A and B are shown apart, each in its own frame.
Chain A
Amino acid sequence: MDIFIQQLVNGLVLGSIYALVALGYTMVYGILELINFAHGEVTMIGAMIALAVIGALLGAYPQAPALLVLLAGVLAAIPACMALGYVIERVAYRPLRRAPRLAPLITAIGVSIVLQNAAMLIWGRSYISFPPILPHGSHTVLGAVVTDLQIVIVALSILIMFGLTLLVERTRLGRAMRATAQSREMAELMGVNVNTVISITFIIGSALAAIAGVMVSAYYGLAHYYMGFMLGLKAFSAAVLGGIGNLAGAMLGGLLLGVIEALGAGYIGDLTGGFLGSNYQDVFAFLALILVLVFRPTGLLGERVAQRA
């Protein structure tokens, strides 16, 4: 039972990070019906930039307050990723909006390879460890250990998701976004500047990705030029699981996927009589993705995926 609660907690923490990244996929898909393959790499770049800034600050002012350094790192990563997201859309997707479907998908893959390898050239092939400036207290709840870091991650994610929901549901900008998602042509006729809305969507998604990137590297204590790939895939799976194009779906899908993964990794040994171990953790996300596509392609909260398409 202790393992169950513990894995549940771990899963929820991981899941809230997935949810943040999944939101980026789902927002872009909702508006452009495009899978922004490079989104995972934006997350990675966010983590890398934050770590670089944190490292530089700690090098220059070893006595600086930890919270301030951390904040500086995050605040550097967010605008950098926003700019990156904007540039990606302008350069790789916008010119191809009227091209066959395969074309933007291929540039998206190209962009993610470029980002990955650029990161490798800049920051090297080895793992970069997160400096020890994170909160490190912990509590025991129902037999499970909950760290302060986990609490911060979940709380911050919830806050961000709440804010995003308000933005989309209550503001003029949000209304323009929803209108564009319904029909780009109609929104345009109604006076919505569709290009601006699309740019803003990428920018918001990238800001979320930057935060998620810092969170995930803080959680695992590591960053690596390759980390965006897996994270991106899982977050996309989460978006599909919840129903792509649907904000609440992405949040639910993220949390669910985190929990599935944690529980799966925790119990796979017992389930297979020790044949498979927790190193198969990454498989669960894809199994979940494939199963959802087979049995409920709309996702849990989604309208009909295929029909929207």
Chain B
Amino acid sequence: MPNVPEWLRRHPRLAFGLLAVLLAVLPFIVGAGLGRGWVRVLDFALLYAMLALGLNIVVGYAGLLDLGYIAFYALGAYLFAWLSSPQFGLHLPFWLVLPSGALLAGGFGVLLGAPTLRLRGDYLAIVTLGFGEIVRIFMNNLDAPVNITNGPQGINLIDPISIGGVSLGVRHTILGVHVFPPTFYYYLFLFFTLFTILVAMRLQDSRIGRAWAAIREDEVAAAAMGIDTRSVKLLAFAMGASFGGLAGGLFAAFQGFISPESFNLMESVMILCMIVLGGMGNIPGVILGAVLLTVLPEALRYLGAWQRATLGHVVVDPNDLRMLLFGLAMVAMMLFRPAGLLPSRQRKREFRAEDGVAGQEAASLYDAQA
């Protein structure tokens, strides 16, 4: 990582220790300094970091553009809601529901990826985009004649996660200190985020990760080196989807309420934006992107208050401005810093390199496979 002071660089253990302590006390510092609302923001930053890391496996590692990623998040969230809320009167434990959500999302990933991954990447982008919309349409309309999703109203009263009989959804007093649900969920999300990081890191440095990188660089050469490109791509797609499903379950439990509104295309785009901004393929970059894009919109809210204070009324709602800025940021990043804020070593070169021969000849491979 760049910009790490020299003395920390020389003592990696010390650096890790400091980071661990910082992460452990962060919600208390943030809660005390900025207010309890910001602990929730912190929780969402972690949730988005998980999502972005999952999507990064698909986009950053394997080079496949998935524009319907949020659909997998939605599947995980809805499965959690169905299996532990009054909707069907089921209240299964989270350790059963969360993996099921990941599995369901991964399964849909395979169903969707199998027919499309043999085609050029652009098609995958469009099909996933369509899939995202289909899922949302179904969630919106499956309230009649049999009420499955409760339609646009969404599903309410979803069980909070409880560990060993202790619910994370209520306030507890520990050693005389009030600790609120967002703080508990912070640690839970931190655990899952670290888990995701571990998985992503180990995969990247493995036989599988090398195969993904090879496919991204030159699919024809990868196939000619004995890589079953289709199933390796499918694996990336399904892995990404599973992480989406897992994060969706966590989201449902944390919010206690979900509706189709939370799973629109713009969410998919925002997660993609996090990756692009931070640095495709680079884990610290992706996390930075996720944190920035979760925190900045919150900070933008102050812009509304500022307008009211100085101009007397809100001229431009900062919420409306948010997506506009994201869109501009995506274009600007691609034009001026395509490898992201914290680029991975490979990406930096890749975006500089010219895509001549490899791109043109990729055609011939599909001749045999299509």
Q: Quick check: do A and B touch in the complex, using CB within 8 A?
A: yes
User: Is B328 part of the binding interface, using a Cβ–Cβ cutoff of 8 Å?
Assistant: yes
**A101-B355, A283-B137 known; A309 and B265 CB under 8 Å?**
no
User: Is A275 part of the binding interface, using a Cβ–Cβ cutoff of 8 Å?
Assistant: yes
> Which residue in A109, A287, A294 is a CB contact (below 8 Å) of B115?
A294
The answer to whether B327 touches A100, judged by C-beta atoms less than 8 angstroms apart, is: no
Within 8 A of B (CB), among A73-127: 91-92, 95-96, 98-107, 109-118, 120-121
A287 / chain B contacts, CB cutoff of 8 Å: 134
**A286-B133, A306-B370, A309-B363 known; A114 and B331 CB under 8 Å?**
yes
User: Is A174 part of the binding interface, using a Cβ–Cβ cutoff of 8 Å?
Assistant: no
Nearest A residue to B338 via CB reads A103
> Which residue in A100, A109, A111 is a CB contact (below 8 Å) of B67?
A109
Nearest A residue to B331 via CB reads A110
B245 to chain A, nearest CB (A): 20
- How many residues of B sit at the interface, in one of the four size bands? 35 or more
B304 to chain A, nearest CB (A): 14
The answer to whether A117 touches B362, judged by C-beta atoms less than 8 angstroms apart, is: no
B144 / chain A contacts, CB cutoff of 8 Å: 277
**A35-B125, A110-B327 known; A306 and B133 CB under 8 Å?**
no
The answer to whether B276 touches A280, judged by C-beta atoms less than 8 angstroms apart, is: no
- Rounded to whole angstroms, the CA-CA distance of A107 and B335 in the bound complex is 8
**A99-B338, A99-B351, A297-B370 known; A109 and B272 CB under 8 Å?**
yes
**A111-B327, A111-B331, A293-B119 known; A309 and B126 CB under 8 Å?**
no
The answer to whether A98 touches B130, judged by C-beta atoms less than 8 angstroms apart, is: no
User: Is B186 part of the binding interface, using a Cβ–Cβ cutoff of 8 Å?
Assistant: no
User: Is B65 part of the binding interface, using a Cβ–Cβ cutoff of 8 Å?
Assistant: yes
Interface centre among A100, A282, A283, A305 (most CB of B within 10 A): A100
The answer to whether B131 touches A286, judged by C-beta atoms less than 8 angstroms apart, is: yes
Within 8 A of B (CB), among A204-240: 229-230, 233, 236-237, 240
User: Is B354 part of the binding interface, using a Cβ–Cβ cutoff of 8 Å?
Assistant: yes
The answer to whether A107 touches B331, judged by C-beta atoms less than 8 angstroms apart, is: yes
A110 to chain B, nearest CB (A): 3
User: Is B30 part of the binding interface, using a Cβ–Cβ cutoff of 8 Å?
Assistant: no
The answer to whether B320 touches A113, judged by C-beta atoms less than 8 angstroms apart, is: no
User: Is B324 part of the binding interface, using a Cβ–Cβ cutoff of 8 Å?
Assistant: yes
- Rounded to whole angstroms, the CA-CA distance of A221 and B362 in the bound complex is 46
The answer to whether B370 touches A106, judged by C-beta atoms less than 8 angstroms apart, is: no
Interface centre among A92, A103, A237 (most CB of B within 10 A): A103
User: Is B334 part of the binding interface, using a Cβ–Cβ cutoff of 8 Å?
Assistant: yes
**A118-B324, A286-B133 known; A305 and B119 CB under 8 Å?**
yes
B118 / chain A contacts, CB cutoff of 8 Å: 306
User: Is B97 part of the binding interface, using a Cβ–Cβ cutoff of 8 Å?
Assistant: no
A87 to chain B, nearest CB (A): 12
> Which residue in A98, A105, A115, A236 is a CB contact (below 8 Å) of B65?
A105
The answer to whether A114 touches B327, judged by C-beta atoms less than 8 angstroms apart, is: yes
User: Is A304 part of the binding interface, using a Cβ–Cβ cutoff of 8 Å?
Assistant: yes
Helix, strand, loop or mixed for chain A's interface? helix
Contact with A along B128-147 (1 / 0, CB 8 A): 01110110011011001110
Contact with B along A273-288 (1 / 0, CB 8 A): 0111101101101110
B261 / chain A contacts, CB cutoff of 8 Å: none
- Rounded to whole angstroms, the CA-CA distance of A113 and B129 in the bound complex is 14
The answer to whether B137 touches A280, judged by C-beta atoms less than 8 angstroms apart, is: yes
- Rounded to whole angstroms, the CA-CA distance of A106 and B332 in the bound complex is 10
- Rounded to whole angstroms, the CA-CA distance of A230 and B63 in the bound complex is 26
User: Is B90 part of the binding interface, using a Cβ–Cβ cutoff of 8 Å?
Assistant: no
B355 / chain A contacts, CB cutoff of 8 Å: 98-101
The answer to whether B331 touches A102, judged by C-beta atoms less than 8 angstroms apart, is: no
B309 to chain A, nearest CB (A): 21
B6 / chain A contacts, CB cutoff of 8 Å: none
> Which residue in A95, A109, A306 is a CB contact (below 8 Å) of B335?
A95
User: Is A149 part of the binding interface, using a Cβ–Cβ cutoff of 8 Å?
Assistant: no
A175 / chain B contacts, CB cutoff of 8 Å: none
User: Is A14 part of the binding interface, using a Cβ–Cβ cutoff of 8 Å?
Assistant: no
User: Is A290 part of the binding interface, using a Cβ–Cβ cutoff of 8 Å?
Assistant: yes
User: Is B116 part of the binding interface, using a Cβ–Cβ cutoff of 8 Å?
Assistant: yes
The answer to whether A113 touches B367, judged by C-beta atoms less than 8 angstroms apart, is: no
- Rounded to whole angstroms, the CA-CA distance of A304 and B365 in the bound complex is 13
A96 / chain B contacts, CB cutoff of 8 Å: 334-335
> Which residue in B67, B127, B350 is a CB contact (below 8 Å) of A290?
B127
The answer to whether B134 touches A100, judged by C-beta atoms less than 8 angstroms apart, is: no
User: Is A307 part of the binding interface, using a Cβ–Cβ cutoff of 8 Å?
Assistant: yes
- Rounded to whole angstroms, the CA-CA distance of A101 and B119 in the bound complex is 14
User: Is B35 part of the binding interface, using a Cβ–Cβ cutoff of 8 Å?
Assistant: no
> Which residue in A103, A121, A290, A308 is a CB contact (below 8 Å) of B130?
A290
- Rounded to whole angstroms, the CA-CA distance of A236 and B123 in the bound complex is 10
The 5 closest A-B pairs by CB, nearest first: A113-B327, A110-B330, A286-B130, A306-B366, A114-B327
Residue positions of A touching B, CB distance < 8 A: 34-35, 91-92, 95-96, 98-107, 109-118, 120-121, 229-230, 233, 236-237, 240, 274-277, 279-280, 282-283, 285-287, 289-290, 293-294, 297, 304-309
Question: With A102-B63, A279-B137 given, can you name 4 additional A-B contacts, CB distance below 8 Å?
Answer: A103-B338, A113-B323, A282-B137, A287-B134
